[in-house]
A and B are shown apart, each in its own frame.
Chain A
Amino acid sequence: MPSSTQISYRKSSWWKLNQQRLTPWIFLFPGLVLFLVYVIWPIFNSLYISLLQWDGLSPAIYVGFSNYIELLDDEYFYISLINNIKWLIFFMLAVPIGLGLAIFLNQTIFGIRLIKSLFFFPFVISQVVIGIIFAWFYNPRGVIGPFLETIGLGNYAILADEDFATYGIIFAGIYPQIAYCMILYLTGLNNLNTDQIEAGRMDGAKGFSLFKNIILPQLRPATFLAIVVTVIGSLRSFDMVAIMTQGGPWGSTNVLAYYMFETALSEYGYRMGYGSAIAAVLFTIMMFYILFFIYRMYQSEKKGL
C-alpha cells in the first residue's frame, strides 16, 4: 500500500537527511563526555577553588583573589617561576645534542643497531630510576663527591648548593630527553630524500652548507616534534624535582608544578586554594604554549604539509 510506504519514509527521513552531519558527533560523544568530565570540568573547578581558603576538610571560605595577591609577595613562587624558565631554556639543549648524536649514529657499520639501541636506552628506563641514580651520583658519599675529593678538589654536593642544584636536576632530566630527540631525528634521517642531496652535491654544496640548506629543512617535521616534546618535558619537570630534592635545599629547586603539589597535597600542605592559584598560573603559561602549538598545526595543515 503506497500510503504506508509514505509514512515509513517520513519517519526515517530526518535521520537520513542528517546522517552525514550526525555520525561524527555520535562517534565523538564518548570521548567528548570523558574530556568534559576529566579535563574541562577540573580546570574550571580548580579556578574556582583558587578563590577559596580550604584545607580539604573544614568548610571552604570564599576569599576572592587574596590567594593571587599572596602569590605576588611569595618569594618561593618567584624562585619556582625562574626555575621553570631555566628548565625551559636548558632543556632545549636536548634538541641539538640529540641531532648531533643522530647524525653521528646514522652510519652503516657492523653492530650499529646495537649501539643505537644503547643510546636509546636512557629513554626506556623510568624517570624515577634516573632520578634516583643521579641523586646517588651527586650524593657527597656517592660517586662525584668522593672522586673530586681524591683528585684534591674537595667534596662537593651539587644538590646541596642552592645556586646550582637546579642545573644538577636539569642535567639528569636532559639525559633521557636527548635519547628521545635522537630517535626522532634518526627516523627523520631515514626518510631523507636522496635525490635532493644528490642535486645539492652536484651544485657544489658540501659539509655544513649541505647540512644547513638541504638536510635540516628536510628534518623540519622532526625538529618541530622534538621541540614540542622537549617543551612538554621541561614543564613536566615535577617528577625529577620530587625524587631528587623535593624542592630543597630550602625551596631553591622548586618548580611551579612541584610547588603546587607541596602547598596543596604534601604532608605539610593542604592549602587547596593557594595550590590551585599556582595551578592557574601554570595553566596560563601552558595555555600560551598550547595556543601557539595549535596555531602552528592549523597553519601547516592548511598548507597541506
Chain B
Amino acid sequence: MEAAYIKRKADGRIHIKSGSKGDQAVRWTIITLAVLTVVAFLFFNYAGLELGPAIKETAYNVKVMFLEPALNHFDLGEAIYQVGVTLGLAFLATIIGAIIAFFLALMAAANLAPVWVSRTVRVFVAIIRAVPTVLWVLIFAIAAGLGSEAAVLGMLFHSIAYLVKAFSEAFEEVDKGIFEALQSTGANWWHIIRSGVLPSTFTYLLSWVFLRFEINFGVAVAMGAAAGAGGIGFELFMASGFYFDLREVGFITYAILIIAVLLEVLSTRLKKRYLPAASN
C-alpha cells in the first residue's frame, strides 16, 4: 500500500516534490525555451555589428531623442493633425471591426449557434489571426492602392479576430435562464439577442471595444511606418529613415507616448469598472 502514494528514490529517501504532470510540463517548457535561446545566439547573423560602439551610440541617440525633442520638418499643428489621422484610422478599424465581430460572434458562441457554424467561424478566425497585420495591409495596398482604405481594411482583420473571441466568450456566459424565459414568451432568435443577450453584455462588449481601440492605436502607428498608411507613424519613419533627425523622432515618440498612456489609463479604468473577472 505504502508504495502507492509515497514515492521513494533508489536510496530510500522520500520524494519531497510532488512532480505532477503540470510541474513537469512547466520544467520542460522552461528548459526548451532556454536551450532555444542559447541556440538562437549561436545562429544569429552578426553582420556589421560592433557591439561596443553601437551601444555607446544608441545611448547617445536615446539621450538626444528624449532630452532634446524638437520639430524641424513640420510644425505643431501638423503634428496634432497627423496624430488625429492615426487616431482616426484606429477608430474606423475598431468601429467597423466591432460591428462585423458582433455578428460573427453570435455565430461563434456555442450557446447561440449550431456546433458546425461556431466551429467554422472559429477556424476562420484562427487563420485570419495567423497572418500579421502588416501583411494584410500590404496585400490590400496592392489591390486598393496605398491609402487609408488599405490601412483600415488591413487592420480590420485582426480587430475582428480579437473581438470575435472576446464577444463570443461574453455571450457564452449569459445566464441560461434568460434564454428560457424569453423562449417561453415565444420570442424568436433575433428577439432573444436584442432583448436578452445585448442588454446583459453591452457594457462588457464596450470595454473590450475600447481595449481594442487602445491596441489599434499602436497598430496604426506601426502601419504608418511599415506600410505607408500615413499619420504620425509615417512621420516617424520619415524622421528616422530619411532625415536622420533624432530630435524629431524624440518629439514624435513623446506625442505617441502621451496618447498611449492616456488611452491606457482610460481603459484600465473601464476594465476595473466593467471587467472585474477578465485578466487577459
Does A associate with B in a complex? no
B-side residues, CB < 8 A to A, are: none
A-side residues, CB < 8 A to B, are: none
